Chains A and B, each alone.
Chain A
Amino acid sequence: MSPLSLLSTPNPHRLASKVAREDEHQLVAAAKSGDIKAFEELVNRYERKIFRLTMNITRNREDAEDAMQDAFLKSYSHLKSFQGDSRFYTWLVRIAANEALMRLRKRRPNQFSLDEPIEGDEDLMPRELQDWGPGPEQRFAQTEMRQILSGVIDELEPEYRTVFVLRDIEELSTEETADAVGISVPAVKSRLLRARLKLREKLNRYFRQGGAN
C-alpha cells in the first residue's frame, strides 16, 4: 500500500461521552459497567494508533485493517477480564500486536520466523557516518517525512521491525515486548539494538548533510 493512501482523510467524528476523555481509567470503568459510549470513546482515542501499529507490523492494508478490527472486538469481549494491572492502551496494544503477528505469520510462513534465534556475531559496526546537522527532520515537509519513515521501516526485516515498533514506538517494556512476540528478553534486546542501528543507517541516506536521497 502506498503510504500516501493513508493521508488526506477527513477528521473522524468524535463521539461525546459523559466521561472526560482525559481519563482512561474512568472510561474503562464505565465501559466495563456497560457504557457503550465510553468504549466508543476509547476506540476513537486509539484507533489511529492501533491502525499504525498493525500497519507497521503487517505492512499489508487488508491484514492491518482486519487485525485492528479484531483487536477492538476482542478487547470489548474480554473487557471484564481486564484487571487494570497495566494501562488499558498497553493491554490493547498487546492484543493488536498478537492479531497482527498471526496474520503476518500466516501470510509469510516461509520467509522468516519470528521465533527462531537470529542473534549472531555479525559485524554491527556502523559504516555510514556523516553529520546530520541540527534538526535533520525539519528539512522535510511533514508528508515527505511520513513517506521516509514509512519507507525505511518497510525495508526492515519483520523480526526487527516488530520489536522496534512495540518497544520504541508503542513504548512497551522489554518484558511486555518479549511476552507479546513470544521471544526471550535477551532476544528482544538483541533485535532492538539491530533494528535501531539499521534504521539509523537507513535514515542517514536522507539526513546526511548535503547528501539527501
Chain B
Amino acid sequence: MFVDFFFELRKEGVPVALNEWMTLMEGLEKDLAGSSLTGFYYLARAVLVKREAHYDRFDVAFARCFKDVETTPEMVEEALAVFKNLELTYREPPGYTRREKAELPEDYLKELAKHKITFLQRSRSEEETEARPSRPFGMGAKQPGAIRMGGDSMGLSALKVAGERQFKDYRDDLITGVRQFEMALRKLRQLSSRLEGPREELDLEETIDATANNAGMLSLVWDRPRKNTIKLILLLDSVGSMDRHIQTVSKLFTAAHRTTHFKEIKYYYFHNCIYEHIYKTHVLNDANRLPTDEFFRLHNSEYRLIVVGDASMSEPELTRPGGAVAMNEFNKEPGLIWLKRLARHFPYSVWLNPVPKVHWGKEPGHTTVPLIEKVFPMFELNPAGLEQAVNRIRLKNLN
C-alpha cells in the first residue's frame, strides 16, 4: 500500500526521490507518525513535499490512496458494539512486535476488564466534555494492550485535511510570482571591463608580483570589481485588451523595478501596436507622447528591448496605413513596418506575450500573433518564458 502511495505521488507530479522515501521509512521506524493516519499524513508531507505548490497534489494522491483506510463513525459504533459484548478471552493483540508482546502484563485479562470499564465510563463522559486527559484508549495510549482507536490527535482527520485541499491556491500552475521573474531577470547580465569604480578587490597575482619586486616587503594591489553593463528598455502595451493581463504584467514590472543590477532600465508604453508615437507614462495622452523617431535617437542599439503585449488586434491595425485604433494617432505607414523598424533598431530584442501560447494564432482575437512572431522572437509571459527570453536576448536578431 505504501509503495502504491509512492507511485501515486509521482503520478500526481510530486517529485519524490528514493532517498526522501527512505527518510520517511526512518521516520515511521522512529514512530514519528504516532501510528495514526493523521500522523502519517503530516510526517509524509513534511518529508516528501518540498514546495507549497505541491501540497495540493500531495493531498489529491493521499486521498486517492488512503480513502478506504479511514475509520468512519459507523465503524467506531460497530467496534464499540462488539466491544461491549466482548467475551474476555485472551486473544493475541495484533500489530505488536514480539518484544512488546512479551511485555504484556500477566494479568492481561484483568487489565482488559479494567480498561473496558474505564472505556465505557470515558466514552460516556467524553460525550459531555471536550477535554480529554491521558487515557488508556485511543491515540494517546502507549502501553501494550491498550486499544488504539484511530487517530485524530491533531483535531482534523488526515483524509479530511487532504480532502479539503486548502493548498489548492498555491499550485504553481496558478501562481507566477514576482520573485520568479526577478530570478529570470537576474540572469540578464554582461560584465563590464574594469575601467570605472573604486578599487576594492584584492588582486592576488599582481600582489605577489609587486611584493616580489619590492624585495619581499608586502605590497598590496587592489582592482575594481566588474559590473553589469546591460541597459534595458521595457516597452509595455498598456490599455484595452491588456487590462485582463494587468496582474501578470505588473508582477514583471515590479520585478524589473526591484532588480538593481542593470546599469539602466527604462519604461515606455504603447497601445496595441507601435506607430509614429510611443508614450512616456501609462497614461496615453498627448502630453506624454514621444515621437518614435526621437525614441530611436535617444537609445542606441546597445539597449536590450523587451516588448510586452498581447499582440492581439484586428489585422488592419498592423497592415494598413491609418489602422491605428487610438483616436489621436493617424499612422501614414502600417504598424508592421514600424515593428520591423523597431526590431532592426534594437537587434537584441524579444516580445513577451501574456496570452498562453496555445491560443496564439488560433483563437479569434489572437490571429495577429503569428505576424508579429515573424518580427520578434516571442515568448509567453511567465517565469519559464521569461527565462527563455532572457537567454534569447543575448543573441542578435537577424532581420
The answer to whether A and B belong to the same complex is: no
Q: Using a CB–CB distance below 8 Å, which chain B residues touch chain A?
A: none
